[in-house]
Amino acid sequence: MSFDQITWMWSNGEFVEWRDASVHISTHTLHLGSGVFEAIRCYDTNNGPAAFRLDAHLDRLYSSASIHSIDIPYTHEDLTDAVTELICRNDFSSCYIRMLCYHGSGSLGVLPNNCPVELAILAWPLGAYLGSHALEHGVRVTISPWVKFSSRMMPTTAKARGQYLNSLLAVRAAVKEGFDEAILLNEEGTIAEGSGENLFLVRDGRVITNDEKSSILLGITRDAVIRIARDLGYEVEIGPIRVEDLLSADEAFFTGTAAEVTPIREVDGKQIGTQERGPITYEIQQAFFAATSGQDPRYQHWLHSVRQPAAAAMLF
Ligand code: PMP
């Protein structure tokens, strides 16, 4: 990953040159982690770059903001246009997009009184989050000693900024021990999710995942994969997943905007199934990439074209 190719970012309604971007040190979010955010991928398709499930990500941004009593001072349409133009200005054919909604400078008590709600959008080229090897050969993970916070502590369905310290503790400890990623259990002791991914199992031809009752973020990739798996004819079961279910699964994989569909090949040294990437994981992964690349017309509505209007018009 590198920021070298970024020329433009978007900040509070304006396009700003990347090298000129700055925030004041008294920004509330820098002190207390207040605010919410989104992460979106833009894929290279036959019709040019397209943001995958942009509407769903924006809906989740507004929903996360509402949970945390933040009024975003831009409309869905404003933000759609901002993302679209940002990708065009940077001339990216594919990229990862971060939208940050944060409390700016005004006061530094716990309540962000007089702190304006600010919004920034960044975009940069990003390959496979867990490494290019991971998509084909799978990742080695560990069950973290850190417990995923429960929704009685903080709403897990909101994508809020400070809560990622929980994920950070887990993944840092995992990587230090030589693993690729951590899986966090929830307070009940069943599986919650990865530090930045949802988790799926495959058992006896059925696809299994958990839901918000297991203290997870309801991933947009998770939703896409549930639909894809059903369209492929698999029964999808949704409910709590125990550690022993994972250890005895035929296959397991992570889903996430960054991680896409990444097979899990080993949990704490125990191999999952008999192959690095199981056959159903592979089938779902292929179908997912057919959707993101615009090759499957059934999922065309998930792609938001980011061509400049003039360039798009020239196509017809
Ligand atoms: N769980 C957590 C904790 C995450 O950070 C993410 C990444 N946003 C996910 C799950 C997957 O969500 P999505 O598919 O919407 O990226």
Tell me, in angstroms, the distance from the centre of ligand 1 to residue 257's CA. 7
Residues 148, 159, 176, 213: which is the catalytic one? 159
250 lines ligand 1 (CB under 6 A): no
261 lines ligand 1 (CB under 6 A): no
pTM value is 0.96
Query: What DSSP string runs through 50-116?
Result: EEETHHHHHHHHHHHHHHTT---SS-HHHHHHHHHHHHHHHT-SSEEEEEEEEE-SS--SSS-TTPP
pLDDT tens track of the chain, all 316 residues? 679 999 999 999 999 999 999 999 999 999 999 999 999 999 999 999 999 999 999 999 999 999 999 999 999 999 999 999 999 999 999 999 999 999 999 999 999 999 999 999 999 999 889 888 999 999 999 999 999 999 999 999 999 999 999 999 999 999 999 999 999 999 999 999 999 999 999 999 999 999 999 999 999 999 999 999 999 999 999 999 999 999 999 999 999 999 999 999 999 999 999 889 999 999 999 999 999 999 999 999 999 999 765 544 444 3
Nearest atom in ligand 1 to the alpha carbon of residue 193 is 1
- Atom 9, ligand 1: residue with shortest CA distance: 197
CA distances in angstroms from 218 to 151, 232, 248, listed in the order given: 12, 21, 24
Burial (CB < 10 A; 0-12, 13-18, 19+), residue 147, is: middle
251 lines ligand 1 (CB under 6 A): no
198 lines ligand 1 (CB under 6 A): yes
**Does 159 qualify as catalytic in the annotation?**
yes
